[in-house]
Amino acid sequence: MYSVRMSTSERLIESTRELLWERGYVGTSPKAILERAGAGQGSMYHHFKGKPDLALAAIRRTAQELRATAEGVLGGPGTPYERIEAYLRRERDVLRGCPIGRLTMDPDVIADDALRAPVDETLDWIRERLAGIVEEGKEQGQFAPSLDGEEIAAAVLSTVQGGYVLARASGSPAAFDVGVRGLLSLLAAQKSPTS
């Protein structure tokens, strides 16, 4: 399943990332992690202090990956509207859900300040990045001056996270796509007439 060149600690982190996304924190047992990683009995405790330490490494890795993916789109070419549109329309495994957003529904992650921190920081980072793009659009005269960057950023993030929920509930990515199209229609209506 994993490359033979991948170290045991890397296999443990990757296995934990996958299991957290699939099963949540409680459903991610040390036994399941070791089995998926193809690692021996004492491997986890050789490389990590225990399950919470390994889970934190996995959540941090997932958060870094999500930020890099978002930045690849948000920092890409195009107008502010086009970059927000690209973020909303980027390829996602909609029915699987967001690996970070799903952790917000995990009571064990939310109850643990250390595990919750990378989740909260990532969502805050995305919101701030989106708000900055909206403000950039206002400065360039592409968006109406009355738009509030923080409010639009929250709406974009809410549409993405809520879209995952609706798609999973209906068993179809169409629910996600409808929400994205609706938000883009509203945002397009706020574009400056001169842009």
The per-residue pLDDT for range 9-49, each reduced to its tens digit, is 999 999 999 999 999 999 999 999 999 999 887 888 888 89
pLDDT of 6 reads 82
Could you tell me what percentage of the chain is helix, strand and coil, using 3-state DSSP and rounding each to the nearest 5? 70, 0, 30
Closest CA relative to residue 157, chosen from 128, 181, 185, 177: 128
CA-to-CA distance for 127 and 62, rounded, in angstroms? 17
pLDDT at position 111 over 70: yes
- Burial degree of 65 (CB within 10 A; 0-12, 13-18, 19+): middle
Q: Round the CA-based radius of gyration of the chain to a whole number and report it.
A: 19
pLDDT of 1 reads 58
Residue 4: pLDDT band by 50, 70, 90 thresholds?
low
Q: State the DSSP code for 67.
A: H
Pick the residue with more confidence: 42 or 178?
178
pLDDT at position 195 over 60: no
Q: Rounded to 5 degrees, what are φ and ψ at 143?
A: -115, 150
Tell me the sheet residues that pair with 143: 191
Q: How many CA atoms lie within 13 A of 82 on its CB side?
A: 6
> Cβ distance 66 to 124 under 8 Å?
no
**Residues contacting residue 143 through CB under 8 Å, at least 6 positions apart:** 80, 81, 134, 137, 190, 191, 192, 195
> Cβ distance 128 to 149 under 8 Å?
no
Query: What domains, with CATH codes, occur in the chain?
Result: 59-189 (1.10.357.10)
